[in-house]
Amino acid sequence: MKILKITVALGLLWFVFYGSIPSIDINPIPDEIDEVQAIIDVDKPSDEIIQQVRPVANLVTDIEDKAKLALFNYEFANRVTRYETDVQKLNDVYTDAGMRFFEDTLKGKYENLPDQLQKLFSSITTDDNKVLNQEEKQKLKDLFAGLSWALIER
């Protein structure tokens, strides 16, 4: 009971001196374009990649969604070349990671986004399930880094 009184007293003193309740930012995921731009280090992609990814980036209209998708795809691009995987497993990893990262925040929000992302994958890989070679993984890296760039480019 004594600890409760001390805690309440300290809280009241904080309020008196600082005029507000202390806030704790528990969201470690940046949600503003400026914050994400400070994290993401992507050079401007080639015009060919920009043409491919711009329609996908333009589907996303919410600033917070753009920031989070940019961060997600930046991380994916940086990791994809290290994966020893086939086409299906890579698709599963991307989908599963996206479901965990975004939870339900994008569900049904951008109707064509899943199909357009799949088209990006298919532009590099085949519909047949095969082990990806280093050249294909590098192209996927460049493509998804380009998507990240297009999402935060102003």
Which tens digit of pLDDT belongs to each residue from 58-94?
A: 999 998 899 899 999 999 999 999 989 999 999 999 9
Answer whether 64's CB lies under 8 Å from 31's CB: yes
Domain count, the chain: 1
Confidence at 13, pLDDT banded by 50, 70, 90: very low
pLDDT at 10: 52
Q: pLDDT tens digits for 91-111?
A: 999 999 999 999 888 988 998
Instruction: Look up residue 104 and give its two tokens.
Output: 């339900």
Tell me whether residue 109 is in a domain: yes
131 beta partners: 86
Query: Could you give the CA distance from residue 148 to residue 43 in angstroms, rounded to a whole number?
Result: 10
Encode 88-98: b = buried (16+ Cβ within 10 Å), e = exposed. eebbeebeeeb
Given a cut of 80, whether residue 33 has pLDDT beyond it is no
User: 55 in helix, strand or coil?
Assistant: helix
In a domain, 67, yes or no: yes
Of 31, 38, 124, give the one whose Cα is nearest residue 77. 124
Distance CA 119, CA 125 (A): 10
Stated pTM of the model = 0.75
**Structural domain boundaries, residue 60:** 33-152
Residue 28 in domain: no
Q: What is the pLDDT of residue 87?
A: 92
Is the pLDDT higher at 69 or at 29?
69
Domain-located, residue 15:
no
Look at residue 11 and tell me if it is in a domain. Answer: no
